[in-house]
Amino acid sequence: MPMWIKQSLRLFRHELKRGELTIICFAIILAVATVFSLSGFSQQIKSALVNESNSFIASDRVLQSSRPANESILIKAQEQNLQSVQMLLFSSMAFAQDEMQLVNVKAVEQGYPLRGELLIESDNGPVALSAPSKGSIWVDKSLLTKLSVEIGDSVELGAANLKIAGVINKEPDASFSVFTQGPRVFLNFADIEQTKVVQPGSRLTYRYLFAGEKADVDSFDDWLTPQVEENQRWYDIKSQQSPLASALKRAESFLSLASMLGILLAAVAVSVASKRYGQRHQPMVTVFKAMGANKNYIRNLYLLHWSSLSAFSIIIGLCVGFIMQYYALQYMASYLPTSTQASYWYPLTVAITTGLLCACAFAYAPLKELVATPVLSVIRGFNGFTSIARWQSVVPAISAVFVLLLLFSKNIILSLVLLLSTAVIVAVLVLFGRVLISLGRKIGSGAGQSLHLAIANLKRRAKQNNVQLVSFTIAIMLLLLMLVVRTDLIDEWQAQLPENTPNQFLVNINQSQVPKVEEFLQANELSASQLFPIIRGRLTAINDEKLLKKASKEQDDNSDNGRQGLGRELNMTWQQELPAENVVIEGQWFSETDNTPAVSIESKLAERLNVAVGDELSFQIGSEKIRIPVTSIREVNWRSMQPNFYMIFSAGVLADFPVTYIASMHVPSVNKQDFQQFLSSYPTISVIDVEAMISQLRTVIEQVSIAIEFILLLVVIAGSLVLVAQVQASMEERERELAILRTLGAKGSLLRNSTLLEFVVLGAISGLLASVAMEVAVFFIQLNVFEMATSFHGFYWFVGISVGALFVGSVGFMSCWRLLKLSSLTLIRRTL
Amino acid sequence: MNTSPEIILDCQKLTKTVVTGSGKSGAKPLTILQPIDLQVKSGESVAIIGASGSGKTTLLSILAGLDLPSSGEIYLKQKPMHTFDEEQRSKVRADHVGFIFQSFLLISSLTALENVMLPAELANDDNAKEQALEMLAKVGLGDRVDHFPSQLSGGEQQRVAIARAFVSKPDILFADEPTGNLDSKTGEYISSLLFDLNQQQGTTLVLVTHDQKLALRCQRQLTMDSGRFIEQQIMAEVS
């Protein structure tokens, strides 16, 4: 075996045992473990979230169409190993003896739902079933009351006579539209023909549900998307405009962002530690060279040394990452669906690549410099020798970070933005750091002895301190960023779903029932929205342009949320006051004194239809036609659990039309029975229970909050490691200075205080800069990534500055403590 | 070049000039060594003494092949070191040269034994371990072989450094202030050890020191001042 192998392994073994490689090993271990657990964990969380949420569309993807879809689509799905089922949705009258009721029919095939569960009441509680057997139906409980029938009775639906075989407990892809017409009826797909409802001109909605492995679904998606016709809609849970989709998108964005920041910090730690690794080995290299070892010998020796170190750290990192992921998933097992299987291949590949990339890119410059250490240093000492151009150390490191970000996010724009903004922050920090330290010098000259010495030290080591300042600041900034975004995000979610979030919607309340409903709400002290009058009408023209085509689309009455299209009748209201969660962004809200007819339009619809304030809209309401000017454009928070409207008219415009009312309210479980009783006295009032969706939303928020805490912990560890590594890196230099000051007779207390103050000042400045940078970053993230209201975080400035001062101060002081305790003679011997 | 096998080190008109300063004041050449001639016989011990800044350490660096002269010739074991690149000089150092430094320069992560084995291993000596153990026993550290440098006193560390210097039986040994970091008692012990081993192995010794007593133990003393040997100057004036 060549001698360099022996010597390299020997050196590695001893250094490892003696803890001399702890920081660098820990940095690589952390990078690998972070990436492993984060990619695995966030992957799991994401797929768990999506799985869970996909039950809201009963599948992974849905193709909705007003006509039967082309057979080739189903064949292709089968070829792609996707499961698929089809359903047909339509409204029809149901008859039982003398009673009749408009119902919402969903004809399903065996196999439905592909995601989530359809629960049907049974004697032993709810059971998960697929489709009713031929000749039978499952119905909403309210239908039993409305038609005065019981389970086992027969109901006429179109031309078919069908037996009620069960009551629906939970429908996975139930419509959350508060304007859905009539109770739900589940029908076997094979019975459609018997009902004879499918006639030319019937208003039908065909839905094709698809589910399968993500890769298969994605490739099917790629194939199908370009073929989607105008009368079709191809969507997944995230393309829905539901509160859940919004929470889900934000959660995913946060997980990706947090993971990327974690990786960025771990990379900074590796970079700092590898630089120190190079510097620490310089004396050894010169000794080897003086003894006659040539460049090749040293290059081989250190390449092997670094490879052993990297391999060792990557393996430990993988183990740690595996354990972290395992326990994190165990901890979250109750929140994850049982079907979720942990996959290790993806995180394993990403983590190993990260480890190798970090090990190669960050070590390139330090190792190159190390091998080139001049042998004369053995006599002359090591005076900050550099043998390579600055770009050689910067370019590989930046490229590695970019590749890592890209690897993780798979988003070139996001990676570039993150990298460039980090570069801008670094540049600004270097500038600010210089100015601040220079200002400090002026203030320091009038201060006490310890502070004066501390500030003099800072000034003298301005270059090294700038490097430290940048890494401290980045570490503190990322920590603050995580903390602030996490708090804001969770707060906003919780604000969105407060304790008394409306869980019931009452629709079809007629004018005469309004006082009774109000009375009931008051008597039971239920929190409820105001009662909104509803009128259905069709937008027929904008100014003089008729909207014939758009207004003739018919498939949307059964859509999930009823907001995506204009090709149907709109539910419109009138209000004197601007409803909560609505903000006028253009024009003026109706004036109390002015009774001129006017309409306010929702901003996204206005954008889609290219409607501006001052345009005139024509509506067909029943047989009447009205033409009204737009006086304001509103932004509406669709995530709020209250009735929201595209069109709000000024009071009086619709006064002569027959109306029904709608209200949302929170009914606590203790009041449920009274609520049911109240409703049974008013069978024409329909109720929509959104309790299930709210609890689902809460689960998602809970899952994501836990995931966020976990990532925050990793980011804190990575940040702390950067701080420790950076302080350690400056120790050798301090050793020499302390020796000199000691020799000159400086008192122990003076040295202790000045060292402590030096780190505290450095930490505080970093904290301040980090707070500024965090505020700017949070502003952009809130605005662009999470699309939420921006806010100022004064408290976190205080946290940033004090944590910076305390943490950097204490780590620095503790690292110096060892030196400060040494006797003058030992210090001098060690350094001179 | 003196081709006599007796001459192990031969320098002719060796100079060293470095460029100092830059920027507004402009670069200025600084002469550290004036033309120097020096011959050292095999087995001889030579002390180079002089005040700080007299150029003795620079001379030692060039003599040992750690640095190159600005002009002049230097032959070590008849090899023209002034024409060699770093790699070739490394080979010469590995084959013929030993070092002792003022600050010991032991590798802190290796044990005393491993530190001593280093030069022998670099010279591909199969018996590196046995020889290192023997040398450590000779310097009185037979029972401290597994200790790391931080577990040894200054004197003990220098004894390890001496063992390391002698283990590969170099033809010539360069010592830079070998007792400079030690108290006088330990220093005396170390210098005795150095000269005893030197005598036993018949090694040529070139040492740089401030210590007059240590210098006097050498067969020849050369005093440097402003980059030249004072004796040489006097001799030149006499002739």
Contact indicator for A358, A31 with CB cutoff of 8 Å: yes
The pLDDT of residue B236 is above 80: no
Map tokens 């750290």 to a residue.
A313
- The per-residue pLDDT for range A594-624, each reduced to its tens digit, is 778 899 999 888 888 888 899 999 888 877 8
pLDDT confidence of residue B232: 45
Strand blocks (E) in A673-744: 686-689
Amino acid at A603: S
Interval A112-139: pLDDT, tens: 888 888 889 888 888 888 889 999 999 9
Return d(Cα B239, Cα B237) in angstroms, integer. 6
Per mean pLDDT, which range of A224-238, A516-530, A730-744 is the poorest?
A730-744
- 3-state SS, one letter per residue, for A156-189: EECCEEEEEEEEEEECCCCCCCCCCCCCEEEEEH
Residue A194, amino acid: Q
Closest Cβ–Cβ partner in B67, B87, B95 for A295 = B87
- Nearest CB to B122 within list A291, A379, A829: A291
Residue-level pLDDT at A306: 92
Q: Which helix (H) or strand (E) holds A609?
A: helix A603-609
pLDDT of residue B113: 93
- Is residue A171 a contact partner of residue A138, using CB atoms and an 8 Å limit? no
The answer to whether the CB atoms of A292 and B92 lie below 8 A apart is: yes
Quote the CA–CA distance of A795 and A807 in Å, as a whole number. 18
Is it the case that residue A417 has pLDDT exceeding 70? yes
Helix and strand element counts for chain B (H, E)? 8, 10
Task: Kindly list the domain boundaries of chain B, sorted by start residue.
Answer: 7-24+31-234
Over range B116-124, report the average pLDDT: 86
pLDDT at residue A565, as a whole number: 42
pLDDT exceeds 80 at position B161: yes
Give the residue from B110, B76, B71 showing the smallest Cα distance to B91.
B76
Chain B residues whose CB is inside 8 A of the A20 CB are: 108-109
Class of B7-24+31-234 per CATH?
alpha beta
3-state secondary structure of A19: coil
User: Which segment of A12-26, A587-601, A606-620, A785-799 scores lowest on mean pLDDT?
Assistant: A785-799
Q: Which residues pair with A101 in a beta bridge?
A: A94
Report the distance separating Cα A420 and Cα A426, nearest Å.
10
The average pLDDT across A726-751 equals 70
pLDDT digits (tens, 9 = 90+) for A638-697: 766 678 888 998 887 777 788 888 888 888 888 888 887 887 777 677 777 777 667 766
Q: Kindly report the pTM of this predicted structure.
A: 0.67
State mean pLDDT over A473-483.
79
Tokens linked to B111: 């044990």
Residues A369, A371, A376: CA angle, nearest 5 degrees: 90
Interval B192-219 mean pLDDT:
87
**Rounded distance between C-alpha atoms, residue A580 and residue A603, angstroms:** 16
- Residues within 8 A of A (CB atoms), B 103-142 only: 103, 105-111, 114, 118-119, 121-124
Question: Is A299:A371 a contact under the CB 8 Å cutoff?
Answer: yes
Sequence-ordered list of residues with C-beta below 8 angstroms from that of A522, at least 6 positions apart, any chain: none
On average, the pLDDT of chain B sits at 84
d(CA A256, CA A39): 9
Q: Which residue of A has its CA nearest to B60?
A: A379
- pLDDT of B233 reads 43
Q: What confidence score (pLDDT) does residue A564 get?
A: 37
Per-residue confidence (pLDDT) for residue A561, from 0 to 100: 38
Q: Are A204 and A89 in contact (CB under 8 A)?
A: yes
Q: How many CA atoms lie within 13 A of B239 on its CB side?
A: 6
Burial class of residue A131 (count of CB atoms within 10 Å of its CB; 0-12, 13-18, 19+): buried
Q: What is the pLDDT of residue B11?
A: 92
The count of CB pairs under 8 A between chains A and B is 85
Residues of B in contact with A293 (CB under 8 A): 90, 94, 122
User: Who wins on pLDDT, B125 or A706?
Assistant: B125
Of A374-383, A700-709, B189-198, give the range with the top mean pLDDT: B189-198
Q: pLDDT band at A301, cuts 50/70/90? A: very high
Q: Which residue has the higher pLDDT, A62 or A740?
A: A62
| Contacts with A379 from chain B: Cβ below 8 Å | 57, 60-61, 66, 101, 176
Report the alpha-carbon distance of residue A382 to residue A373 in Å, rounded: 9
Question: For residues A769 and A429, is the Cβ–Cβ distance under 8 A?
Answer: yes
- Give which of B89, B116, B100 is closest to A295, Cα–Cα: B89
Cβ neighbours around B70 below 10 Å, total: 15
What is the average per-residue pLDDT within A290-294?
Answer: 87
What confidence tier does A85 reach under pLDDT thresholds 50, 70, 90? very high
pLDDT of residue A629 exceeding 80: yes
Q: Which of A186-190, A697-701, B44-48 has the lowest average pLDDT? A: A697-701
> Which residues of A sit within 8 Å Cβ distance of B?
3, 6-7, 10-11, 14-15, 18, 20, 283-284, 286-295, 297, 375-376, 378-379, 829, 832
Confidence of residue A362 (pLDDT cuts 50, 70, 90): confident
Largest CA distance in chain A: 110
Which of A11, A20, A290 is closest, CB to CB, to B93? A290
Tens digit of each residue's pLDDT (9 = 90 or more) over B177-189: 888 777 777 788 8
Helix A390-409 vs helix A22-54: crossing angle, to nearest 10:
30
Q: What is the pLDDT of residue A562?
A: 34
For residue A113, say if its preceding peptide bond is cis, omega within 30 degrees of 0: yes
What order do you get walking across the sheet with B79-80 strand by strand? B28-41, B7-20, B71-76, B79-80
**In three state form, how does the secondary structure of B51-101 look?**
CCCCCHHHHHHHHCCCCCCCEEEEEECCEEHHHCCHHHHHHHHHHHEEEEC
Searching chain A, which residue's CA lies closest to the CA of residue B123?
A292
* Residue A387 confidence (pLDDT) above 70: no
Residue A263 clears pLDDT 70, i.e. is over it: yes
Instruction: Tell whether B7 is within 8 A of chain A (Cβ).
Output: no
Confidence tier at A342 by pLDDT (50, 70, 90): low
User: Is pLDDT of A242 > 70?
Assistant: no
> Which residues numbered 72-101 in B keep a CB inside 8 Å of some CB on A?
86-87, 90-95, 97, 99, 101
Rounded to whole angstroms, how far apart are CA atoms A201 and A13?
82
| pLDDT at position A246 | 67
Measured in angstroms, the CA of A829 and the nearest CA of chain B are apart by: 7
Q: Which of B89, B109, B168, B174 is the best substitution to test chain A (most A C-beta atoms within 10 A)?
A: B109
pLDDT at residue A181 in the model: 59
**DSSP secondary structure letter of residue A233:** E
B133 with B164: CB under 8 angstroms? no
Rounded to a whole number of angstroms, the distance from the CA of B35 to the nearest CA of chain A is: 21
* pLDDT confidence bin for A554, thresholds 50/70/90: very low
* Per-residue model confidence as pLDDT tens digits over B19-30: 876 555 567 788
The CA-atom distances, in angstroms, between B22 and each of A385, A446, B50 are 17, 34, 29
Q: Considering only A484-488, A523-527, B201-205, which range has the smallest mean pLDDT?
A: A484-488
| The pLDDT of residue A549 is above 50 | no
pLDDT-derived band at B204 (thresholds 50, 70, 90) equals very high
Structure ipTM: 0.87
Nearest CB to A7 within list B121, B124, B148: B121
d(CA A199, CA A218): 35
The model's confidence at residue A280, banded by pLDDT at 50, 70 and 90, is: confident
The pLDDT of residue B173 is above 50: yes
pLDDT (0 to 100) of residue A311: 92
What pLDDT band is residue A563 in, cutting at 50, 70 and 90? very low
Q: Of A110-124, A305-319, A413-427, B63-77, which gets the smallest average pLDDT?
A: A413-427
Identify the pLDDT of residue A601.
92
Average pLDDT in the A775-800 region? Answer: 77
Can you read off the two tokens belonging to residue B227?
A: 């980059």
**DSSP code per residue over A420-436:** HHHHHHHHHHHHHHHHH
Residue entry with tokens 């087995």: B43
Question: pLDDT for A205-217, tens place per residue?
Answer: 889 999 988 888 8
CA distances (Å), origin A84, targets A61, A79, A108, A259: 10, 11, 11, 35
Residue A729 confidence class, pLDDT cut points 50, 70, 90: low
Q: In what helix (H) or strand (E) does residue A61 lie, and over which residues does it extend?
A: strand A61-65
What pLDDT, on the 0 to 100 scale, is given for residue A571?
Answer: 80
pLDDT band (50, 70, 90) for residue A17 = confident
Per-residue model confidence (pLDDT) at position A108: 92
Separation between Cα atoms, residue B149 and residue B48, nearest integer Å: 29
Q: Which band of pLDDT confidence, cut at 50, 70 and 90, is reported for residue B235?
A: very low
With contacts defined as CB-CB under 8 Å, which chain B residues touch A292? 90-95, 97, 119, 122-123
Average pLDDT, chain A: 79
Query: Under an 8 A CB cutoff, do B110 and A292 touch?
Result: no
Q: To the nearest whole percent, how much of chain A has pLDDT over 70?
A: 79
pLDDT at residue B239, as a whole number: 35
> Among all chains, which residue has been given the structure tokens 């003795």?
B56
Token code pair at residue A49? 């979230």
Q: Dihedral (C-alpha) A762, A768, A772, A775: value to the nearest 10 degrees?
A: 120
What is the pLDDT, as a whole number, of residue A608?
80
SS (H, E, C) B118-163: HHHHHCCCCCHHHHHHHHHHHCCCCCCCCCCHHHCCHHHHHHHHHH
Which residues have a Cβ under 8 Å from the Cβ of B55 and sit 6 or more positions away? B16, B32, B33, B224, B226, B227, B228
The type of residue at B112 is A
pLDDT at B105 over 60: yes
Q: Predicted confidence band at A727 (pLDDT cuts at 50, 70, 90)?
A: confident
Which has more confidence, A12 or A715?
A12
Would you list the DSSP string of A506-556?
A: EEEEEGGGHHHHHHHHHHTT--BPPPEEEEEEEEEEETTEE-HHHHH--GG
In percent, how much of chain B has pLDDT > 90? 24
Q: CA–CA distance from A278 to each of A303, A392, A659 (Å)? A: 12, 15, 80
SS3 for A501? coil
Q: Among candidates A130, A64, A138, which has minimal Cα distance to A94?
A: A138
State percent of chain B over pLDDT 70.
Answer: 92
* Mean per-residue pLDDT, B220-235: 75
